[in-house]
Every structure is written in C-alpha cells, then in structure tokens.
Structure 1
Amino acid sequence: MYFLERALKKLSKKVKSKKTDKKKYLPPDIVEGPLEALVLRQAGKSVAFRCRMEYCIDESGLGFSPVGWHPFVAVLAEYETNNKLVYKDSILEKFYKKWQPNNAGEALIGMDPPPKKMAELPPYALFLSPWKPVTLDELKARIDQWTSEDNLEHGHPELDWKKNGLKFFGPVNDDLGEFEFQRLIDIYEVLRKRGYDRDCGDIGVVLLRHRNEYRFLVAGGGRHRIAALAALGYKEFPAQYIVPQFVVDSRDAEHWPQVRAGMWSAKEATAYMDYLFDFDSGSWFDKFISS
C-alpha cells in the first residue's frame, strides 16, 4: 500500500497548500471544446477543456477508448473483478512478455510496412515522431531525465530504464513490472475514492489534425491517470495543451523536422497519421496478446 499512502498524502498536501498559499497551483478555467482551448492556448492563455476519452491514443497507436485496448486500462479492468490480482498473473505481465519489439519500426504496432529508417533504430525511438524537433541522442537524454525524475518522485530512484526497461513495451524486468502494476492500482483507488483532483494538475494532450478529424495524443503527463479514468468509466476529463508542440496538422508533413532531416519521408509521416487515426488496437490485442 506504499504507493496508495504516498498518493493520498500527496493529494492531502496539495489541498492544504491551496488553502494556505494563494500562490500555489490553481487549475485554469475549463472551456467546452478543444478548438476553443486551442485558440486560447495559441494566444498564450492557459485553459483546460473537456477531452473525450474515445479520441485518446498514445504514440504506439494503443487507445484508451472503450472499443480500443491499452495494457494499463486492461490490467485495471482485471483488478476491478479481482482485487487480489498480482502482477505475475496479470495481463500487464503478459503484455510485457509477448510484446517485445526489436526496433522502433516494430514498436509502431500496426504500421506495415514501418518507416524504413525507424526499423534501423532501437525501440525507444518510437518517440522520434516525424514532427519532433530532436535528434536521437537528444531523445535518449530526455528519456533519461523524465524516467529518473518519475521514478524518484514515486519512491524508486534505483530504477533505470536502460537496465529495467521502459513501461511502454517489453521486455521489462519484474522490478519495473511490479512498480507499474502497483502504481496503476494505487492511482485507480485514489480516483475511485476521491474523484479526479485538478489540484494535482490536468492530463496533457497534443491535438492531432488529419483528414478533417482529430485525435488526442497523451503527452505532458497523465498516462496512469487516464488509464485509471478509462477503467472507471469516465467518458471525458479535463485536459490541457501542455507541451510546447501542442498541435500537429498532417497538412504540414513536408515541413516536419524529421521529414526535413530525412528520418521519415513525407509519405511515411502521413501514413503514420493514418495509422494513429485508424489502428484497431482491440483487434490487435485479440490476435497477438490474448491468444
């Protein structure tokens, strides 16, 4: 129960600090739509909006919607029916054991064929999205930073992604698997008992525009929270455009940094957007993980 106690203590401290210090974080106003929020964000005003769960995905194409599939949501659904569930018997462990991409191309689960140069890079280069203005070395340094900060914040500074693995795919060792499993359950229990506390910060998303449609890429913090909210049946939640590159439009594909650098072709970059919008993660689970 370490994580649950820590999470509850953290929530309690934030609520108390809000009462005693007006300079502490106050969540911004919520506007109804993502486009209104986008216009205000582009004008320099921080706002939140009601983000629809059905449109939320991650970089690998796995979805948080009721018709999609994501291992974080799936393991919490197991826990809902069996609160004595342990990591060793969970769908999360099965996911990490069965889904172990050899390269970044394979990590883009549903792209066939994958981008040619991505197939030559390590799996973590999955996050070298065509619109990202970073080199592979800069990406690796960023992963070093945010994983170490995240592990320290949650009481496990000894974890190192180069040794233990990354939470987004296998292989991971049992230390990281157990950590992610317990962290998800504890966040789920906090949200189940107390609801969504905006004083702890809203979930960050990037607006993806493609073919007159849009999706929300979870970025800027909140993967565990959105998984818990999805498992609890939330249809929408307060979200913000947090990261600097908060809107991506496929009409700009030829000008994206990784396309200009030759890492992706414009055709591959557009195909990646097709993939993010169309990938059936539920069917992929049925074929590759549950079998």
Structure 2
Amino acid sequence: MARDNINDILVFLAVARERSFTRAAARLGMTQSALSHIVRSLENRLGVRLLQRTTRSVSPTEAGERLIQNVAPRLEEIEAEIAAVSDLGGKPAGTIRITAIDHVIDRVLWPRIAPLLPQYPDLHVEFSADYRIVDIAAERFDIGVRHGDQVDKDMIAVRLTPDVNMRIVGAPQYFAHRPLPASLPELLKHNCINLRLASSGGLYAWELRHEGQDIEARVRGQLTFSDAEHILAAALSGNGLGFLPDELVGPHIAAGRLLSAMADWCPTWPGLYAYYPSRRNSSRALALVIDAIRYTES
C-alpha cells in the first residue's frame, strides 16, 4: 500500500472516531476542508464510500467499519512498536492521553504527574475530564480511570486510591432549620442536589446500602449538575444535600463546613484504578506515568 494511503487512513480513523470533521480537525490541527478532501480522495482510490455524511452527523459505512475493526488495531500495534524502539534511544518521550473525572484529575492525577514534567521535557500529558465510561481503545486514550469494579477484565489495572467512602453532606446553615435525615423517607423530603449522567442523560440514583441491602434512592431537589465539583460548591453554600466521596468532602467535614448524615447508609466503593490495554510493548513514557500515579501506602 502506498504511504499516502496509510496517512489518509489515519485521517479517516480520526474522523470516524470523533464522528465529526470539526472535532477531528481540531484534534489533528488541520482544516475541515483538508480533512474532507483527504477522505474523499481515499474513498475514490478505494472505490467505496467510507463515511455516511448528513448535515448533523458523520458515521462509518459498512466498509468504513471494516477498516476500523481490522486495520486500526494493526496501525496501533505499529505505532506502539515504533514508540518502543524510539524509547531505546533516549529519554521517555511522547504524549500520554488520560481520561478521568474532573476531581480525580485535580486531586489524584495532577499532583502526582506534575513533578515529572520538569524532569522529562519530551513527555506530554493530555487530560480529558469526562463522566462517561470511555472506551479508551476506540477513543485512543492511553489511560482511563474507574472504580475497581468497573474495569474490564482484559485491561491491566493499577490501584490509585484506597477504597472510597461515600458521604451524604450538607452545610450547617442548611440544617439550621431542618433536622439531619436518619432514614430513607426522611432523606427523600430534603432538597438534594442531583447529578446528570453524561452517558445516559438520566439522573444518577444515589447508591446507598443499609443493613446489607443495596438501595437506589431517587432524590429530588432544586439543583442538578453534571459534575461533582459544582455539587460540592452548592452543598457548601447551603443549597442542599450532596452525595459525594470522602476524598472531596472529608476536609470540609473536619473543618465544620459540612455535616455528615446517615453514615450507616453510605457504602464503601472499590478504590480508583488506572487501566490500560495489555500490550506486548508499552512505551517508557506510559510506564513512567503509571509508576508516578500508582497508589503506595504511606
């Protein structure tokens, strides 16, 4: 195959994965018109349409899906081998793309990765804050972060945190004229702050546990956010109750800025893990980042 075809296939894969010429152009640092021209040229050479285009979306055709399923993994293997060979000649280099929830990036990943950057100027790290459960292979991330029970068995998993305690919290001013809830019926009468799920668009049901029984509490309230940081801010300002991990609210509880309720209803979740595909050869840059973010008991 001509080298131009390989380069053009890489462009096609970027557009297909992003389902958008606009997003793919931003990611590749090219113009939309250039990407469109490359994909059309590739389609003309192959004699088959690879993308179905509408005014609102872009999706792969059957031929396009075949390229994605059968050609993309081989190109990724080649890229991994080239990166491994390149690593033999010098310091760790390359871009490591990581997807995680915003507060995990702020409080877990960034403090551990930041000291690496001055030591390794050729190392680049791209963070993507996302509440979706991301298919890191399909979206070309190097590392994803999930709770331990959400990691696929075919992935390599590295612990980042101890197990996570959840808390139902509210500010003292919120409870100034309201009693702390002690049961599910009492909780459902409170002004609770909801989380809108990015994956389904629905509201997250608080996952409680009482006397060995798992309970999904569909709470109601005036506020709904799509991220934990804003839920925390609203709870601190006295605008309702939040259901949040102890890593976020623990310091505020200790300082008296938040009060904790229904501790015997709040579960402990498996800790956070970094996960990545099992590859025959991982780059030194990936290994360096994994070692930096790995949980070590103090």
Report the TM-score, using the length of structure 1 for normalisation. 0.24
Select the structure that is richer in helix. Answer: 1
Question: Radius of gyration: which is bigger?
Answer: 2
Greater RCO structure (CA 8 Å; 6+ sep): 1
Report the TM-score, using the length of structure 2 for normalisation. 0.24
